[in-house]
Amino acid sequence: SQRLIKLLRDRGVEDVVEVHAEGVITDFDQAHAWHQEHNSAENAAHRLVRAGSLFIDFTARQFWQDAPYPLLLNEHDMSERWETWDDN
């Protein structure tokens, strides 16, 4: 996350921050096997980057194996995937 934030800021994107997301993974059967073994669907936590109104997630496949790379989300999409999120 921090490398992407620095890269975007170096290129003039001012409104870029790390985001902490938490929530229930509704399609937990799609989660990577490691997550299925070490977590439950009810306690998922994740970090990603927000640049303006766009959320950028390079590691979404650990939760949704069929997610595009990178996963790009707007606020509506974030609400569908995560219960809560906040900017650090």
Q: What pLDDT, on the 0 to 100 scale, is given for residue 41? A: 55
Pairing of strands 44-51, 54-57: antiparallel
pLDDT by residue (tens digit) across 39-87? 655 667 788 999 999 999 998 888 788 889 999 999 999 988 888 888 8
Cβ within 8 Å of residue 50, ≥6 positions away: 15, 16, 17, 18, 19, 56, 87
Looking at 18-22, 23-27, 60-64, which range is the least confident one?
23-27
